[in-house]
Amino acid sequence: VAEATARVMGDDFDAAAVKSGVTATDDGNSDVISVTASDPDPETARKLANTYAAQVIRYRALTDREQVLRAKRKLDVIIDAS
């Protein structure tokens, strides 16, 4: 997520800069996260937080899709064996 965020943010950011500027927390019981970013420029901090949040959503969607596809492949094997 940090690397993807850095790519979107541009040349002034790398994954280490994103990791040092962003704090993301969740309560472990829901899909809700809290993202806080710090930067001397308030607009950059806002963009960093929003970009990081968007990349978390993207990452979760990709991993959820992969889990569904793995489960489908297992079911296909079971069905084909029947």
- ∠ CA 59-56-64, nearest 5°, is 35
**Rounded (10°) angle between helices 2-9 and 42-81:** 130
What is the rounded distance in angstroms from the CA atom of residue 46 to the CA atom of residue 21?
11
Q: Band of the pLDDT at 52, cuts 50, 70, 90?
A: very high
Pair 33, 25: CB distance under 8 Å: yes
pLDDT reading at 47 higher than 90 = yes
Arithmetic mean of pLDDT, 5-11? 95
| Percent of the chain clearing pLDDT 90 (strictly above) | 57
Q: Band of the pLDDT at 77, cuts 50, 70, 90?
A: confident
| Residues sharing a CB contact under 8 Å with residue 69, sequence separation 6 or more, in sequence order | none
